Each structure stands twice: as structure tokens, then as C-alpha cells.
Amino acid sequence: MSIQVHRTRSTRTTVRFFPHNDTEIQAMLDAIGVATLEDLFRDIPPELRERATLDLPPGLSEMDLYTRVESLARKNFASCDRCFVGAGAYAHFIPAVVEHILQRAEFYSAYTPYQPEVSQGTLQATYEFQTLVAMLFDMEVANASMYDGASAAAEAVLMALRLRPARRRVLVARSLHPQYREVIRTYLEGSGPYSLEEVSFSADGATDIQDLTRKLGEDVAAAVLGYPNFFGVVEDLAALVNAVRACGALAITATTEPLALGILRPPGEYGVDIAVGEGQSFGMPLSYGGPGVGLFATRLEFVRTMPGRLVGETIDSAGRRAFVLTLATREQHIRRERATSNICTNHGLMALAFTVHLSLLGKQGLRQLAALNLARAHTVADELERRGWQLVFTRPFFHEFVVAHPDARVRYQSALEQRLLPGVPLGRWYPELEDALLLCVTETASAEATQALLDALAPQSC
């Protein structure tokens, strides 16, 4: 039995966000010297004013609004517990302290710290963020963040083309996240006389070094590799980076899952020139794919060609340590059409989430969480293999892996019907992997859901 609740929509104008009463409005109009609010718009051509009416519903009270939006949230299947999909967005547990700090209005309702004397909170946290990103990638310098991993990868390619102005070809591993490749393509199209070529992957799931070597040349500005790549496979960066750099091109890595760097040797150790990534895994919910935070790190010698905001350390008038936005002469508000990028702000609040979460995890927690993800994913992969699924690639992986089965499609559907997200079918991006699923196992998947996944994908009777 259900109780019918009748809600009446208010037809009154919403007033809760507006502090003025009629007397105050009149006083302000009097001060200005006009009679009505409409008189404020006398510079606007009447033919525009006449057609400006909004054909939209009346406003809602907070209670009605909550109910309305909550009803939309309820229609989604949203569960980190039953999510075995990664592919660039990862279900990780977020400690309550992260959310608590993020809900401080002193942080979320501020803007870019143009006035450093009253923005030291944002500035110091951003400086800490830059340090954490640089350490995680083992690079010399990182910026204050970009929009997401894919746009950071595209900006890295543009930066490489600035650093190698005589070169016009860019290589991208086909094992890089398909959407990262698409965004790089969009950014490059029309920006100059550049060409983009893909480097194939070998049967083991890693970038084909022979194909890479064949395509490299003195006209190649940069090569972009996934680390780990889209299939979760850990690339042999030493060999690949050496090949790229040997011909004078810049080696760029893109990391969709930075947690992997808690356990894997970082890009910087292999001589990577620009390391980018998506930082969502640290402190940001899935939130249907956004907002996350783009990570961008490089060598100190390239810092003046780097896109994005930078916070630096300095002193105040009394000689005390202070932080401030710096090296702004690279940026659009100073250099306009000659700027290193059109980017204006970063993803500041998400950079804060990243910083707080990594500070909590710390030296030991980061490594242990990475090791936990690694072990759990391998346990599930081993069990699927035991139950008749083929592990498509043989190379070591982190917490994502590709499995195939002749009945993959049917089993996938039956798992969906049991309210599980049983990986993502790869056929839409890789026709040769039509019967393959990309699975991801993180610490959020419950034991019960993991068992349900195994039983749905690989019933014991088979």
C-alpha cells in the first residue's frame, strides 16, 4: 500500500536567493534615477526585448526540488559495490574527510586565487597538489591541473609540437584509451599542418615496438602511450621511451589510473618527457564521468611552454613564506593569441580532493591500496580463467584485464540483468575484440558482488 502525496507547485517567484525587499529595490532605483527595473534595459533594442519571454515552468521550493531531482537519481543503476567497469573512470572508496573538506564553502565558493593575500588556502593546497603529482609521476614539475586526462593528453601533444616546431607527425598508441585518442584528434584538427598516426599493439596487449620503430622518424614530434594502457596492460616503458627519444621525439605517457603508480615504476624513471593523467581515482566519485581532474607534469626545462596555471613559492612583505600564481606570461589573459593554451582555470576543487585523499593515504596507504587492487583483480582474473574464459593478453596488468569467451555477449547480458556492471565490451572500439570484455576490480567491489559476477559470467556447471 502506498500513500498518495499531493504536492502543489508554488506559482510564486522564487525569492529565497534574493535578499531585496520592495522598499530596497525602490531605494536603489531612486538612487540610479530610473522608475522601474525595466528602465535599466533601455539600451537594448526593443525587437530583442519583445521576444525575450521565457517559456519555462515556475520555480520550486527546496523540498519540491529535492524530490524532483532525487527521482531522477533513483532511475540510475549506480553502485560502486557492483561495478566491474573501469576504462578511464574508477570506483574507489572516498574517506569522509575528503568530502568534509570539499564542502567547506571557503574552498568551493572561492575563485582563482587572484588576490593571494586572501587565497593562501587555495594556493598552498595547489602547491601541495603540484608536489604530489610531480612525485607520483617522478617528474620535476606539475601544473595546477587541467580539465581531464584526455584534454591533458591533447595539450601535451600541442606542447610537444611547440617544442619540436619543425616536426609535424604525432604517433598515438592504439592501446591508448579510445576517447583520449579521439580528443587528441579533435584538438589537432585544423590547429596546423599536423598528421596523427596510430601504432598497433602486439598479441600480448602491449604497444608493438616494431610498428613504433617503423613509424618513428625525424619528422615525428611526439608519441603518446598509455601507462598502464587501456587494456590494463603495463607497457615496457624503458624500451618504448628509448625508441621514441632516440629519434628526437618527445615521449608522452597518459595514465588513466594513477593508483597504479603506487606500485609501478613511475614514467619519470623511464625518461618520459611529459606525463599526463586523470586524477579522478583520488577523492572524486564516478559522477557519470565528471568532474575529474587532468594531471600534467614535465621537465623543468619545458616549464615555460607548459599550459595551465602554476603556483609558486615566494615571500610576503614581511619575508614570510607565501604562495602565488606565477609564470602567468605563458597564459591567455596576458599573452592572448600567443598563449601556450586557451585554458583559463584549472579543476581546482578536484585538485583539492586529490590532494586530501593522497595526504590521507600517504606513503604506506597508497602502496597498500595499489597492492590490494592488483591482488583482487588477479584473483578474479585467475578464477575466470579457471572457469573457461580466456585471458586475452599475456602481459602483466594492474587492476584491469581483457577476457574473452564464445558466449561473452549472452553472459554479459545475464550479468547486467543481475544488476552488475560486468566490464565493458570492447567491440565498439576494437572490432577484432568483439567477444572480449574489459574488466576492472577495485577495493569497492563486495565479496558478494564478486561471487555474483563470477557466477553470471562463468556458471560453475560449464
194-233: contacts with other proteins (CB under 8 A): none
C-alpha cell at 154: 591533447
In degrees rounded to 5, what are phi and psi of residue 236? -85, 80
* Selected range binding other proteins among 60-68, 163-171, 215-223, 245-253, rule: CB under 8 A: 60-68
Q: Which of residues 92-111 bind other proteins (CB under 8 A)?
A: 95, 97, 99-101, 103-111
Contacts of 394 (CB under 8 A, 6+ apart): 203, 204, 205
Q: Which candidate, 177, 133, 180, places its Cα nearest to that of 155?
A: 180
Tell me how far apart the terminal alpha carbons of the chain are, to the nearest angstrom.
43
Query: Rounded to the nearest whole angstrom, what is the least distance from the CB of residue 24 to other proteins in the complex?
Result: 4
Among 43, 165, 431, 447, binds other proteins (CB under 8 A): 43
Nearer Cβ to other proteins, position 1 or 190?
190
Q: Which residue has the cell 536567493?
A: 17
Query: Rounded to the nearest whole angstrom, what is the least distance from the CB of residue 461 to other proteins in the complex?
Result: 27
Among 172, 233, 275, 343, binds other proteins (CB under 8 A): 343
* Selected range binding other proteins among 130-138, 200-208, 245-253, 448-456, rule: CB under 8 A: 130-138
- Site map for other proteins, 363-382, x if CB under 8 A? xxxxxxxxxx-xxx-xx---
Strand order of the β-sheet with 141-142 is: 141-142, 294-298, 274-278, 250-255, 220-226, 169-173, 195-199
Distance, CA of 407 to CA of 391 (rounded, Å): 14
Q: Which candidate, 59, 51, 45, places its Cα nearest to that of 13?
A: 59
- Site map for other proteins, 271-290, x if CB under 8 A? -------x------xxxxxx
Nearer Cβ to other proteins, position 117 or 218?
117
Among 114, 165, 431, 461, binds other proteins (CB under 8 A): 114
Q: Are 366 and 358 in contact (CB under 8 A)?
A: yes
Query: Rounded to the nearest whole angstrom, what is the least distance from the CB of residue 426 to other proteins in the complex?
Result: 11
| DSSP one-letter string for 231-257 | TSB---HHHHHHHHHHTTPEEEEEES-
Vertex 392: Cα angle to 391 and 393 (nearest 5):
100
| DSSP one-letter string for 171-195 | EEETTS-HHHHHHHHHHHTTTSS-E
Residue 410 interacts with other proteins (CB under 8 A): yes or no = no
Q: Which of residues 443-462 bind other proteins (CB under 8 A)?
A: 443
Query: Rounded to the nearest whole angstrom, what is the least distance from the CB of residue 233 to other proteins in the complex?
Result: 12
Residue 301 interacts with other proteins (CB under 8 A): yes or no = no
Among 4, 5, 6, 19, binds other proteins (CB under 8 A): 19
Identity of residue 416? L
Among 163, 196, 239, 322, binds other proteins (CB under 8 A): 322
Dihedral, 436, 438, 443, 447 alpha carbons, nearest 10 = -20
C-alpha cell at 162: 611547440
Q: Which of residues 133-192 bind other proteins (CB under 8 A)?
A: 134-136, 141-142, 144-145, 147-151, 158, 177, 179-180, 182-183, 185-187, 189-192
Residue 310 interacts with other proteins (CB under 8 A): yes or no = yes
Q: Which candidate, 368, 434, 369, places its Cα nearest to that of 402?
A: 434
Residue 320 interacts with other proteins (CB under 8 A): yes or no = yes
Residue 305 interacts with other proteins (CB under 8 A): yes or no = no
